[in-house]
């Protein structure tokens, strides 16, 4: 490492991912740089189409056939994942980096016993035998809080509720004790009381196994409760990143600021009308010139529609892609 | 206290479960299983609960979009369940529904103007081409869309704009009561507040009464005057919105509130959470007594013996169906 700096577990530098569509080339991810350290939980927050899932799939090289990473580096434990052969990459997937998805219904195969599927990474990556993988599955089932583990390993996915399926997916992901877990909207399809159970489980497992986690979500409340640091994405770019506490207390990008001001809070007693974000999320095939948020931005200045800012340090440990805060101006209620 | 616009008494909506080659009825899904509630003129009543609790079925039953099995629905004093087809058609002009997924609920082959014209035509409103055009323009304008867009098709609009079209269609018949069934949960976070504010503005402008169904308690608390909490086909707690948040009495409401993440790390880290055990029981064969007792942290033997009625706890307007309620 240059300068002897401590190496990050995962580091993305200037990643660009393009999708070849019938109507043209869609740049789903552009200039994305961030890192994850061992044991920490990093949140990636953004709306649908902001590029957060495509970023995760780019890391694991699981992009759809039309997709390609056309620029940048993904360094994991010092190796550039984009330069590995498909065989080497398979060694990393499931063994070193595990991923769990939003919909546990479609990520389990309906015709195999759940325990057998949970043991699959062990058989593939740890040369574990069939019977031993089943007994390891029983152990993992109890660790993720599936009751009657010994009986339930031999049941089929349709006999599991949504919350139990997600627990099984987490058991599968963690069975090989990977150093990084990528959880893509793991609770979005679940009810709130079940969401609370799964988030509690992820917190406990993160403490016990020390697995670093990337938690992808559109829910700012989930980020607030789970993540030490957060990356905010908009239109395929990172627009802000920093310690969760600082980003929520003093957002340095107008998109973050606007989102935080637009959502109702359970503990808000003021009864004031919400302050909506104007306009609509951008058409990714026709992005505006300059800053991609400028047409919706209440703070935009002339420069914003002409030139796109870079992601630069703005305040403390916070980085933002914004001309206004980079010039040292505060984001305060317009007209206040 | 304003008078009730709509009142449900002992409302039940059951769906038969059929199985075997002969498709015999082997059980009943008790989606709505004995609900009493009133919705007052001009208010927003929030209805919350988790998936499968029966909140959508209740909303649809109130409009008779699904046929209730038993009970009464009094709308402006008339029992909807005793009206014939002609009487019901007249009543339909007074009530409308806004759906969760504006894409699935708009006919993709019709222009926006056509969709709105159809709603007017069914009820013979604003007859004559010019009057109809004027009404369509007015409806689009009122939901914040340019009347020039009437010739476009639903796929040409963004999610937020499509929900505005859904709202315009609901307003077409000039109703007094609207059931909003998860109207913002399919929308992007940055768009949700636009639609919430629009619904609030329209309520004031047209003196509307809303039943606002959602699973997101933060939104429901923001928009509602009163809130009803539903669990497995029953209303388990009902009170003024702020009161419910400040002092929930039913253990289910308390755990639901504590499960909602608050977007503030300083608050969120210090919160005490009630983590419920297990999953919701089956509405085909609900537990005896209180239906929540299988997941409840306060359950006692009595809870299995008999079902607590909603007025077991009653302090002013605040009611809860629980023998061992939380202290206020």
Residue B79, strand partner residues: B74
In tens digits, what is the pLDDT along chain B, a chain of 328 residues? 678 999 999 999 999 988 888 888 888 899 999 999 999 999 999 999 988 899 999 999 999 999 999 999 999 999 999 999 999 988 999 999 999 877 788 888 999 999 999 999 988 888 888 999 999 999 999 999 999 999 999 999 988 999 999 999 999 999 999 999 999 988 888 899 999 999 999 999 999 999 999 988 999 999 999 999 999 999 999 999 999 999 999 999 999 999 999 999 999 888 888 888 877 888 888 999 999 999 999 999 999 999 999 999 999 999 999 999 999 8
User: Taking chain A, what is the end-to-end CA distance rounded to the nearest angstrom?
Assistant: 48
pLDDT at residue number A4: 46
Quick check: A194 and B279 CB within 8 A? yes
DSSP per position, A57-116: HHHHT---TTEEEEEEEEEETTEEGGGS-HHHHHHHBTTTEEEE-S-TTTSS-TTS-HHH
On whether any CB of chain A is under 8 Å from the CB of B37, the answer is: no
Distance in angstroms (rounded) separating the CA atoms of residues A105 and A121: 19
CB B187 within 8 A of CB A269: no
Candidate from A200, A277, A278 with C-beta closest to B275: A200
Q: Which of residues 82-111 of A touch B (CB under 8 A)?
A: none
Percentage of residues in chain B with pLDDT exceeding 70?
A: 100
pLDDT at residue number A102: 82
Residue A243, strand partner residues: A229
The model carries a pTM of 0.91
CB A121 within 8 A of CB A133: no
A101-122: per-residue pLDDT in tens? 887 677 889 999 999 999 999 9
Quick check: B194 and A278 CB within 8 A? yes
Query: What does residue B139 show for φ and ψ, rounded to 5 degrees?
Result: -65, -45
Name every residue whose Cβ is closer than 8 Å to that of residue A294 and which is 6 or more positions away in sequence.
A288, A300, A304, A305
Q: Which domains does chain B have, with CATH numbers?
A: 4-94+175-247 (3.40.50.300)
Candidate from A195, A260, A281 with C-beta closest to B263: A260
B219 Cα to chain A: minimum distance (Å): 6
For the purposes of burial, counting CB atoms within 10 Å of the CB of A335, is it exposed (0-12), middle (13-18) or buried (19 or more)?
A: exposed
In the three-class reduction of DSSP (H, G, I as helix; E, B as strand; rest coil), residue B263 is classed as: coil
Q: Nearest residue of A to residue B260 by CA position?
A: A192
A235 Cα to chain B: minimum distance (Å): 13
The angle at the Cα of B183, spanning B29 to B103, to the nearest 5 degrees, equals: 95
B77 Cα to chain A: minimum distance (Å): 32
Is the alpha carbon torsion for A256, A261, A264, A266 positive or negative?
positive
Instruction: Give the pairing of strands B70-75 and B78-79.
Output: antiparallel
């Amino acid at each position: 490492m240059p300068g002897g700096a401590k190496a990050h577990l995962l580091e993305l530098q200037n990643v660009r991912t393009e999708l070849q569509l019938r109507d043209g080339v869609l740049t789903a991810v552009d200039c994305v740089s961030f890192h994850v350290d061992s044991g920490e939980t990093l949140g990636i927050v953004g709306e649908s189409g902001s590029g957060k899932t495509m970023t995760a799939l780019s890391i694991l090289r699981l992009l759809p056939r039309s997709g390609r990473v056309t620029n940048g580096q993904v360094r994991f434990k010092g190796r550039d994942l984009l330069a590995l052969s498909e065989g080497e990459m398979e060694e990393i997937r499931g063994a070193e980096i595990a991923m769990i998805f939003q919909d546990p219904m479609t990520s389990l195969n309906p015709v195999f016993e759940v325990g057998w599927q949970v043991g699959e990474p062990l058989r593939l990556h740890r040369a574990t035998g069939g019977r031993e993988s089943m007994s390891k599955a029983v152990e993992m089932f109890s660790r993720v809080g599936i009751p009657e583990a010994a009986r339930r390993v031999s049941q089929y996915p349709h006999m599991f509720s949504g919350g139990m399926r997600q627990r099984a997916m987490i058991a599968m992901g963690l069975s090989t004790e990977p150093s990084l877990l990528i959880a893509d909207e793991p609770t979005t399809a679940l009810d709130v009381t079940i969401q609370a159970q799964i988030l509690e489980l992820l917190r406990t497992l993160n403490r016990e196994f020390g697995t670093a986690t990337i938690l992808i979500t559109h829910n700012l409340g989930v980020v607030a409760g789970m993540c030490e640091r957060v990356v905010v994405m908009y239109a395929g770019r990172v627009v802000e990143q920093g310690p969760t506490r600082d980003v929520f207390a003093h957002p340095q990008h107008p998109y973050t600021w606007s989102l935080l001001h637009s959502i109702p809070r359970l503990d808000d007693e003021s009864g004031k009308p919400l302050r909506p974000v104007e306009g609509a999320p951008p058409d990714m095939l026709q992005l505006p010139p300059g800053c991609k948020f400028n047409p919706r931005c209440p703070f935009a200045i002339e420069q914003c529609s002409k030139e796109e800012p870079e992601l630069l340090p703005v305040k403390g440990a916070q980085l933002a892609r914004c001309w206004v805060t980079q010039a040292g101006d505060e984001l305060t209620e317009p007209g206040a | 206290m304003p008078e009730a616009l709509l009142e449900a008494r002992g409302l039940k909506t059951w769906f038969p479960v059929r199985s075997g080659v002969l498709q015999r009825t082997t059980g009943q899904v008790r989606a709505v299983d004995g609900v009493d509630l009133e919705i007052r003129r001009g208010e927003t009543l929030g209805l919350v609960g988790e998936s499968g609790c029966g909140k959508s079925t209740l909303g649809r039953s109130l409009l008779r979009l699904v046929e209730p099995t038993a009970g009464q629905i009094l709308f402006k004093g008339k029992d909807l369940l005793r009206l014939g087809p002609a009487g019901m058609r007249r009543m339909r002009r007074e009530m409308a529904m806004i759906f969760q997924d504006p894409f699935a609920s708009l006919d993709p082959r019709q222009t926006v103007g056509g969709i709105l014209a159809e709603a007017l035509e069914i009820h013979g409103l604003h007859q004559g081409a010019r009057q109809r055009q004027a009404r369509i323009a007015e409806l689009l304008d009122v939901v914040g869309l340019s009347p020039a867009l009437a010739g476009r098709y639903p796929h040409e609009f963004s999610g937020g704009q499509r929900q505005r079209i859904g709202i315009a269609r609901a307003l077409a018949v000039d109703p007094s009561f609207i059931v909003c069934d998860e109207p913002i949960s399919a929308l992007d976070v940055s768009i949700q507040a636009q639609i919430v504010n629009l619904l609030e503005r329209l309520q004031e402008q047209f003196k509307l009464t809303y039943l606002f169904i959602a699973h997101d308690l933060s939104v429901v608390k923001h928009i509602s005057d009163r809130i009803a909490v539903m669990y497995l086909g029953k209303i388990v707690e009902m009170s003024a919105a702020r009161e419910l948040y400040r002092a929930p009495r039913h253990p289910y409401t308390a755990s639901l509130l504590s499960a909602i993440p608050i977007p503030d790390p300083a608050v969120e880290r210090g919160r005490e959470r009630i983590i419920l055990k297990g999953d919701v029981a089956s509405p085909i064969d609900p537990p005896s007594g209180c239906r929540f007792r299988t997941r409840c942290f306060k359950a006692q033997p009595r809870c299995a013996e008999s079902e607590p009625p909603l007025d077991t706890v009653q302090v002013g307007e605040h009611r809860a169906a629980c023998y061992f309620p939380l202290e206020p």
